[in-house]
Structures are given as structure tokens and as C-alpha cells.
Structure 1
Amino acid sequence: MVTAALQTRMSGTPAEALDRARVAAARVRDPEMPMLTLVDLGVLRDVAIEDGRVVTTITPTYSGCPAMATMRDDLQRELQDAGFEGAEVRVSLTPAWTSDWITEEGRAALKGAGISPPGQAPKHQGPVALTLMPTKRALTCTLCGSADVKLSSEFGPTACKAMYQCLDCLEPFQHVKEI
């Protein structure tokens, strides 16, 4: 329910206020990959008005993602700056985030920044087997396009990225993992 006070404070109809809140939320960038917005990354799951205030829902890429607090704070600040005092940011772990939620615009932004975007996430029926071997991925160098690449480290500068090196141009590059 949208109260008269909220409507006055936000100016316009409830639908216009919700549109403004969505636009404000869509401006927030990922702190670890600033070429992506939370929308591009698929982390921003919902923007709604509940009980007279804006409520957003975000889902972390990993349940222990250290950037979640910054994402939450940046989202709350952006909404406040847009006139939505008391906006609430909820963190939801279900459904679990998947790299398939990254938008096409986000994938293009990653590639443009020299980061290899993820392929399609693996589909699992039942329990996921634990393997200690590196994940085999079909990807190409973000600089020269060569498919002759090797895994340098399964763990890059963030938990959601792996490090690769091109064996043709010898340049290292990051790859966003398929989850």
C-alpha cells in the first residue's frame, strides 16, 4: 500500500514512483566489476513498494560474497539520494544466483573490459559431486581470440573469477566462472 505521505514525498503516481525507484536501483554498479550494474550482473532481483516504502531484493553471486555489504549500502544510498528515505534492501539466498542471470549487455561489458564472460552454467539433478580437479571450460582469449589458453589459477582476484593465460599472445586474463 502506498501512503499519501509516500506519494507526496516521491511525487507522482505510485507507478511513477516505482519506475523512479527502479531507475535509481539500476544505476548501482558492482564494486568488484564496476563495468557491470547490479542489473547486468543479475544480482538485483526485485524493486517494489511495500507498506509505503521501497523494498529491493538482491541475491549474492556467492553466499559469502564480500561485496554484498557494499552492494547493499550503495543501493540504499542511491535510493535515498533519489528521494526514497527508509528504503529497505533485502538479501535473498533463494533461488541461488547463477551466472546465467548475467544479461547480454553485462556479458558484452565484461568482454569489453577484457574479462571472459561465463558460458552456460552447468545443470545438476540431485547432489553436486565434489571434484578437486580444475573445471574444464571452452573459452577464448579476450585480447586475440585464440582458443589456445590454459588455466593459471582456479581462483582469481575474486572468488567468482578464474585466471587464464593465452598461449598465443601470452596475455593473462580473468574469466567469470559458470555457477
Structure 2
Amino acid sequence: MRPGELIASDRGARAARPDDLAQAWAVLEQVMDPEVPVVSVVDLGIVRGLDWEDGHLRVVVTPTYSGCPATEVIEHDIEVALAGAGFAAPQLERRLSPAWTTDWISEAGRQRLRAYGIAPPAGSTSKRSLLGERDEVCCPQCGSARTERLSEFGSTACKALYRCIECREPFDYFKCI
């Protein structure tokens, strides 16, 4: 490195503008989850916060679970979208604590899951299931509560496979975690 050169992390650093955070949130609303492409990273609640630090946008991301295979793809998509919107070298922080919970999925995200054919998480992440109580999982196709679990695991580890007894359609259920 020569005198006067910027270190890589300083490239593109600038002072924050008043609308930067609102613009960054709007950009992130368009970054879709690669496994469920109808919900954004904001809808899922995995973007925990935005801040301006040392001349760069800092994004706090909590993956849906620590072993989620889509985590790196999601982080890359976030970086590309923000860079494309003029946020040079956004800084991403992966934060595992507190752990992500389905309680963080927005109401709009729940509606988008249902419209896509995935039953959104029922109830909250209470531990009632430890006492043998089950949440009522409604069919996203016909709305019936007469459903049965076929498998604890669906198309991804965070979903279970269900079938509606009324319309006989199988569907994924986004598990409460």
C-alpha cells in the first residue's frame, strides 16, 4: 500500500444522508428469500437493523437458523442489492443471538406465504408443544383446519409437510421456531 491510498474498507465511504436508512429498507424489501421467493428478507425479519457506521451502511442479519444453507446467498444478495442502490461496500454483521424466531415474520410476509401455498407459522413460539398441545395448521389452499402432518420435514428443514383432509392437497407448513 502506498501513502495516501485508501484501505479497501474505506472505499466509497461517505457521510450519511437523511434518507439513506429509509432507502436501504426499501431496497431490502425487494431482496427475496432464495428458498421462498415471495417473501423478502425484511418480511422474514432476518434483517435486524440498519445503521450508518464509519461512512458505510451496516446491516445486522440473523439467519433463520445457524445452519441455514441459504445464509451466504442471502447475505450476498443483500450486498449486491445495496451496492446497486449506491451503498458502497455495505458492512454485514451476522448476529446469532437472539436466535431468529418465526414471531419476527411480518403480517405481510405471512399473507405472502399463504398466497404462495405455504401455511405460515400458527400461533407463536410458545412451548405448548412440549405439553402435547398442537397449533392449528390451516390449509393455505382452502382454509380448512382439518389437516394432518405427513412428515416433520418438508421441502426445507424449516418446513413440515402437511395434507389437507378436506381438499386433499399437500402443502408445506413453516414451522414455529
Report the TM-score range of the alignment, normalised by the length of the smaller protein. 0.7 to 0.9
Tell me: CA distance 1:25–1:142, structure 2 relative to 1, closer, same or farther (3 Å).
closer
Runs of 4+ with deviation above 6 angstroms: none
Which residue of the partner structure matches residue 164 of structure 2? Answer: 166
Is 1:6 the counterpart of 2:14? The answer is: yes
Is 1:27 the counterpart of 2:30? The answer is: yes
With normalisation by structure 1, the TM-score equals: 0.85
Which residue of the partner structure matches residue 72 of structure 2? Answer: 69
Deviations, residues 65-97 of structure 1 (Å, cap 9, x unaligned):
111101100000001101111111111001111
Which residue of the partner structure matches residue 101 of structure 1? Answer: 104
Match of 1:43, as an amino acid?
Answer: I
Tell me: CA distance 1:19–1:144, structure 2 relative to 1, closer, same or farther (3 Å).
closer
Match of 2:162, as an amino acid?
Answer: Y
Which residue of the partner structure matches residue 123 of structure 1? Answer: 126
Task: Tell me the SS of whatever aligns to 2:18.
Answer: helix
In structure 2, runs of 5+ residues without a counterpart are 1-11
In structure 1, runs of 5+ residues without a counterpart are 8-12
Assess if the C-alpha contact under 8 Å between 1:99 and 1:120 holds in 2.
no
Which residue of the partner structure matches residue 138 of structure 2? Answer: 140
Tell me: CA distance 1:52–1:68, structure 2 relative to 1, closer, same or farther (3 Å).
same
Q: What is the deviation of 1:5?
A: 5.8
Assess if the C-alpha contact under 8 Å between 1:59 and 1:93 holds in 2.
yes
Distance in 2 of aligned mates of 1:118 and 1:143: 15
Task: Tell me the SS of whatever aligns to 1:48.
Answer: strand
Distance in 1 of aligned mates of 2:147 and 2:13: 58
Alignment of 1:38-117 (within 5 A): 38-117=41-120
With normalisation by structure 2, the TM-score equals: 0.85
Identical amino acids, percent of aligned pairs = 41
Deviations, residues 103-122 of structure 1 (Å, cap 9, x unaligned):
01001101111110102223
Assess if the C-alpha contact under 8 Å between 2:122 and 2:176 holds in 1.
yes
